[in-house]
Amino acid sequence: MVHLTKEAIEQIEGIWKGVPHVDITAHALERVFEVFPWTTRLFKSFHGHFKANDNGVQEHAKKVAHALDLAVKDITGINHNFEKLSIKHQQLGVDTHNFKLLGQAFLVQLAIAYKTEFTPQKHKYALEFFKMVAEGLSHEYH
């Protein structure tokens, strides 16, 4: 479990608050699907449409963004709050490494959104957050 300072928590809240949640999530999904094509494997229902504005991606982005919203609101409770989601992803057959890849895709989208305001310090805090999300989603795997 990563230890976060009060400042880190405030920074993460600020970074997430400043971006449109579903939109940035849809673009992070498009990016992860393009850069790491095997991540599309379990999304047969998208019928080969993996762009941010495609229906399947938009609908999925709403669910992922909502989960991230909850994660930001209770950062230290992620492992507990993601228990069911972790079990679900294991049942779906998602390799936990993919959580890190989506985290990387989010970092790029945040950089695009914030441009030079996405300082190395903010990058570091955002990375910590996505590491914790990946850890939470992996927590119940066995």
**Based on CB atoms, which residue is closest to ligand HNI, 11 or 39?**
39
Selected range binding ligand HNI among 14-22, 98-106, 108-116, 120-128, rule: CB under 6 A: 98-106
The site for ligand HNI, by CB under 6 A, has a size of 18
Rounded Cα distance between 32 and 27, Å, is 9
Does the footprint of ligand HNI cover residue 92 (CB under 6 A)? yes
Q: What SS3 class is residue 54?
A: coil
Q: Would you put residue 48 in left (φ > 0), alpha (ψ -120 to 50) or beta? A: left
Does the footprint of ligand HNI cover residue 132 (CB under 6 A)? no
Q: What is the DSSP letter of 140?
A: T
102-121 residues in contact with ligand HNI (CB under 6 A) are 102
2-41 residues in contact with ligand HNI (CB under 6 A) are 39
Exposure class string for 90-109: b at 16+ Cβ within 10 A, else e = beeebeeebbebbbbbbbeb
Residues that bind ligand HNI (CB under 6 A): 39, 42-43, 45, 63-64, 67-68, 85, 88-89, 92, 94, 98-99, 102, 133, 137
